[in-house]
Structure 1
Amino acid sequence: MARPVWSGTLTFGLVSLPVQMFTATDSHTVRFHQLQRGTSDRVRNKRVNERTGEEVPLDEIVKAFDAGDEYVLVEPDELDDIAPGRSKTLEITGFVDLEDVEPIFFDKTYYLGPKGKEYTKVYALLEKALTDADRAGIATFVMRNHQYLVALKAESGLLTLHTLHWADEIRDPRDEIDDLPGRTKVTDRELKMARQLVDTLRIEWKPEDFHDTYQEQVKALIEAKRTGESVEKAEPPAESTNVVDLMDALRASVDRAKKPSGRGGSGKKRADGSASPPTQIRDAAAKRRRSAGSGKPTTGGGKSKKGAPLDSLTKAELYRRATDAEVAGRSSMNREELVEALRGTRRHRATS
């Protein structure tokens, strides 16, 4: 069994419930040691007296506040003496509707359990009351010389404690981000296509379907270096979608999402498992930018190549013709597949 990270008394009204708090989450980050390059010698951090250069034992280290002209020493028991509730009380101030607590306030999650079988009835009573009311208890408590604002929730038959950020810890996005959209306008056509993409990519929330692919790649890298094998590099980051090419990107994304093979068909995958944007979108964008600068037509169906053989067209021009011909699945096709699809469209029109 895990050891509790805190124990004390939960109080609501005149009811007291001795509880223990346990960490609810774990990290699977790959841990590295520090070595001196060229050796197998570990490098460790030491607490050193900066005046003498000598290492200081942990029990000789005290906290001190720099008051400018002197250091003010503070002992651990002095901090405990001034802590609200002497660090052992979790007092619920009141209960709020869960939907009123914005996600940005949530920080870390803990499990809360009764401190002994004799307290299970009070524990169960509070859990059922919170479930029926769909509310969370807001409280404060002190742990390890820090005071925390927390939300007490009922989840799947037990009580959970979520530490919250204080209001003055939440940064104003308008102070942090220079290029917020503000009153930027979008066209009805763009909005309709964007909504269609959101609807097409709708999934059920199943957290077990997601896993940390980067940590898997780190482990694979370590194993490859250990055995002397080569390591495959990840895909480069996707290029930004130009505003001029937004509709093409949206339309191609919807087409790809509709493929029965699921979310991207045969498109390439990046290291995080997500599909990279179709190459033809970038090709089409580059083609239009070049044409815009020269005053030439931007589509593959322009006068200069209207009757040109399909084999002589660029991939961007082929994709434009496939779009005009409403070729299904064109967003995930390579150049050769676009040529074959367009030839098939021509044969179908000729025989119909």
Structure 2
Amino acid sequence: MPRKIWTGSINFGLVTIPVGLYAATEDHSIQFHQYQRGTTDRVRMKRVNERTGKELGYDDIVKGREVDGTLVTVEPSELDEIAPVLSRTIDISTFVDIGEIDPVYFQKTYWLAPNSKEHFRPYNLLRQAMDQTHQVGIATFVMRGREYLTAVRAEDSVLALNTMFFADEIRDPGELVGQASSAAEPTDKEIQMATMIIESMSGPWEPEEYEDTYTARVEKLIADKSEGRTPEVEEEPERPSDVIDLTEALRRSVDQARGARRGKVPKQREREEDVSGMSKAELEKKAKELGIRGRSKMNRADLVAAVSEQTSGRRRRPAS
């Protein structure tokens, strides 16, 4: 069970829903300590006065920055005095269409869960209403001494809260591409070929199919060395040339995509006929399309049974 990191309530209109905030993700990357090469001695970072070389304690340190050549220092107590007061409410100020928010604004995702059983009804009311209207609630709240801009949105069975960047934190992409992008417009034929490639490579979003292969390789490296085996080194892939014939690359990509598409068609038909070959994500999507109730609480076997029953019933139903 994940640890609750914030407790408060969501307010929209005059409705108050007590909730808890939980991290939606976890970091599986491997953490290392630092050691002096050839020894088992840990390397520690110290706070050292760069002029005297003397090690300092936390109480000896203040924060500061230069303003017009003058150093201005700030005491921790002064920062505490102006820190935003910890809020216990997520006050939704407005609802907006989720399609209007550029993904670049999203920062980190949390789950919001009702604090008790009696709060499930207003919680589900807000979640289902936002799901049907495709709206997200925009709000600000304070956590761990910092004010956050957030978007509260509806998932299949839970409310999600995304912390967001403020507008002045988003860099202008025009500084990177400048005027070059408008001066290098592709031809209509190139756009048509690129569109064909995208369409032939299109498919459902199945996050289970993607794995962190680098972390797996690091774990294998550590395991090999711990057991005295020589680590296997993979060959470096050939680097593509910077100079390309765009039209020729597009043509070859279209041919390659067409060949892959011909090979996929029988498999797709087979999967349509046999739902047991679908992933859990595909089954959940299919169950949602079929309007199967209680799908969020079903395991994979339950989903297979429910979808199979629903689809077979539809095939047997006579045409009107």
Instruction: Answer yes or no: is 1:145 the counterpart of 2:148.
Output: no
Matches within 5 A, 1:179-190: 180-190=180-190
Structure 1 partner of 2:103:
103
Aligned residues: 257
What's the counterpart of residue 115 of structure 2?
115
Q: Report how far residue 177 of structure 1 moved.
A: 3.6
Q: Helix, strand or coil for the counterpart of 2:107?
A: strand
Report the CA distance shift for 1:237/1:162 in structure 2 as closer, same or farther (over 3 A). farther
One-letter amino acid of the counterpart of residue 88, structure 2: K
Question: 2:253 is matched by which residue type in structure 1?
Answer: S
**Structure 1 position 216, deviation (Å):** 1.9
Determine the structure 2 residue equivalent to 1:233.
234
Are the aligned partners of 2:193 and 2:251 in contact in 1 as well (CA < 8 Å)?
Answer: yes
**Cα distance, 1:169 vs structure 2:** 0.8
- List alignment gaps of at least 5 residues for structure 2: 265-320
Counterpart of 2:267 in structure 1 is none
Q: Per the alignment, in what secondary structure is the counterpart of residue 159 of structure 2? A: strand
1:1-352 equivalences under 5 Å are 1-47=1-47, 53-54=54-55, 56=57, 60=59, 64-66=63-65, 68=70, 70-75=72-77, 78-80=81-83, 82-83=84-85, 86-177=86-177, 180-226=180-226, 227-236=228-237, 238-240=239-241, 242-243=243-244, 245-260=245-260
Shift of 1:179: 7.3
Q: Offset of 1:63 from its aligned partner?
A: 6.1
Contact 2:110–2:162 (CA under 8 A) maintained in structure 1: yes
Structure 2: how far apart are the matches of 1:241 and 1:70? 49
Secondary structure at 2:27's aligned position in 1?
Answer: coil
CA deviations on 1:142-181 (whole Å, 9 max, x unpaired) are 1112111000001012111001111111111111345742
* Cα deviation 1:308-345 (Å, max 9, x = unaligned): xxxxxxxxxxxxxxxxxxxxxxxxxxxxxxxxxxxxxx
Identical columns (%): 40
Deviations 1:184-211 (Å, cap 9, x if unpaired)? 2323333332222222222221111111
Which structure is larger by alpha-carbon Rg, 1 or 2?
1
In structure 1, stretches of 5+ residues that fail to align are 264-352
CA distance in structure 1 between the partners assigned to 2:72 and 2:168 by the alignment: 30
Higher relative contact order (CA 8 A, sep 6+): 2
In 2, the alpha carbon distance for the partners of 1:69 and 1:251 equals 61
Three-state SS of the structure 2 residue aligned to 1:120 is helix
| Range that drifts further, 12-21 or 219-228 | 219-228
Contact 2:4–2:21 under 8 Å retained in 1: yes
1:48 touches 1:56 (CA, 8 Å); kept in 2? no
Displacement after TM superposition at 1:7 (Å) = 1.6
Q: Give the partner amino acid of 1:6.
A: W
Provide the rounded CA distance (Å) in 1 between the counterparts of 2:130 and 2:73. 47
Task: Give the CA deviation at 1:104.
Answer: 1.1
CA distance in 1, matches of 2:60, 2:136: 40
Inter-CA distance 40–178: structure 2 relative to 1 (3 Å threshold): farther
SS of equivalent residue, structure 2 residue 236: coil
- Post-superposition offset of 1:98: 1.0
Instruction: Tell me the residue number matched to 2:277.
Output: none
SS in 2 for 1:126: helix
User: In the alignment, is the contact (CA less than 8 A) between 1:18 and 1:119 conserved in 2?
Assistant: yes
Q: Distance in 1 between matches of 2:35 and 2:161?
A: 39
Residue type of the partner of 1:229?
T
